[in-house]
Amino acid sequence: MSNTQSIEKDAETSRPVVKLSGVIKSYGSLNAIDNVDLEIRPRELFTLLGPSGSGKSTVLRAIAGLVSIDSGHVHIKGEDVLNVPTFKRNIGMVFQSLALFPHMSVFDNIAFPLRMRRIGRGEIVQKVAESLDIVRLPDIAQRKVHELSGGQQQRVALARALVYNPSLLLLDEPFGALDKRLREEMQLEIVRLHREIDVTIINVTHDQVEAMILSDRIGVMNHGKIVQVESGEDLYRRPKTKFVAEFLGRANCIDGTYRDNNGDPHVVTSAGAAFSVAGNSDVSDGLQCTAIIRAEDIELHEARTDDNGLTGIAAKVELRLFEGEAVYYELIVDGLKYPLRVASKTSRFSPGSEVWLAWRAEQVWLVKD
């Protein structure tokens, strides 16, 4: 379809497709979205990531106009859409339940948005065929919706949301209910579609792996607020808060006090154990902070190593699980409330044994408390 559709080139490519400023939506005393500011760039694949109840779906619905917002502004392509009803916003949306019309055939489902735009018969037939080609499902136009498999229904829902060339496609956890294999297949499908079609996509998910695979940028949400907006790798390596660190992958958060020690910075835990960290301008001497170390960055040794690049802490093995690609350990450290988690290559340490945990100082990321 990319060669036949009329691609609207934004004169100012930097102008955001969607801009939310100070958006608040509350249900009773609870703020479902709490003062959200967000800018989505043209042709971006953006993901809102957060635990359930964090308000990510409400943000999507506010953009679509399916919930009325209490205050703030939503701009789509520079236009304030506060008083524009959903059906005039010209956006595509795929719901978690897919919301295919059960009383219509596949053809009628995909033709529905075209009919709502009073497009002629010949063009409807041609466009439906094109969009079914795009989702790689030719020859099923006459089938009933309930005759299709889960994956086919997903593709039909995508085709229906794309057939009228919306400039913005919203995905409200459409892969949440799929099994793992189908979910990965559909994620790749989205990446492929995004490459082929000129469309900005906003995806909502609670699946951090999906978010990192798909997205150009990720906005992490918690309690109705956007915590951090960054590319997946930046979020993973340089989280701004403990919440973001713990939400993405396996992170160990060690609370302690930052000591500058005249250019040899250390973090000292409440039990007195100290390990060196890379310098950090955000944190000053004597301040409470949290050191974040990824589970896969920690090495296990029998005893303290002499390698100068390595720093570390003593621990005792509590739990060992074989996961296939790694061996997962939980280790008790004196003075820490929670066990540390390590994904290691070796399985030679059995529960109960004393070990030395080692990591490179520059792999520690410091977050202010």
Q: Which of residues 251-280 bind another protein (CB under 8 A)?
A: none
Binding window for another protein (CB under 8 A); candidates: 45-53, 94-102, 280-288, 337-345: 94-102
Query: Which residue from 38, 44, 159, 164 is in contact with another protein, where contact means CB under 8 A?
Result: 164
User: Interface with another protein includes 102 (CB under 8 A)?
Assistant: yes
Evaluate whether 347 touches 320 at the Cβ level (below 8 Å). yes
User: Which residue, 60 or 361, has its beta carbon nearer to another protein?
Assistant: 60
Binding segment (CB under 8 A) for another protein, from list 11-19, 63-71, 130-138, 200-208? 63-71
Residue 117 within binding range of another protein, rule CB under 8 A = yes
- Work out which of 74, 91, 201, 221 binds another protein, going by CB under 8 A: 91
Cβ–Cβ < 8 Å for 293, 303: no
Separation between Cα atoms, residue 365 and residue 287, nearest integer Å? 15
Contact in structure between 49 and 220 (CB atoms under 8 Å): yes
Non-local CB neighbours of 276 within 8 Å, separated by 6+ positions: 264, 265, 266, 311, 361
Q: How many residues are there in the chain? A: 369
Residue 113 in contact with another protein, rule: CB under 8 A: yes
214: left (phi over 0), alpha (psi -120 to 50) or beta: alpha
Stretch of residues binding another protein (CB under 8 A), selected from 86-94, 121-129, 245-253, 312-320: 86-94
Among 7, 30, 82, 99, contact with another protein (rule: CB under 8 A): 99
Count residues binding another protein (CB under 8 A).
28
CA proximity to 163, closest of 114, 199, 200, 202: 114
Place of tokens 């939980």: 330
Select 116 or 319, whichever has its Cβ closest to another protein. 116
Q: Which of 50, 92, 232, 312 binds another protein (CB under 8 A)?
A: 92
Beta strand pairing call for 288-294 and 274-276: unpaired
Would strands 354-360 and 299-301 be described as parallel, antiparallel, or unpaired?
antiparallel
Closer CB to another protein, 171 or 366, in the complex: 171
Interface positions with another protein (CB under 8 A): 64-66, 85-93, 95, 97, 99, 101-103, 105, 112-113, 116-117, 142, 160-161, 164, 170
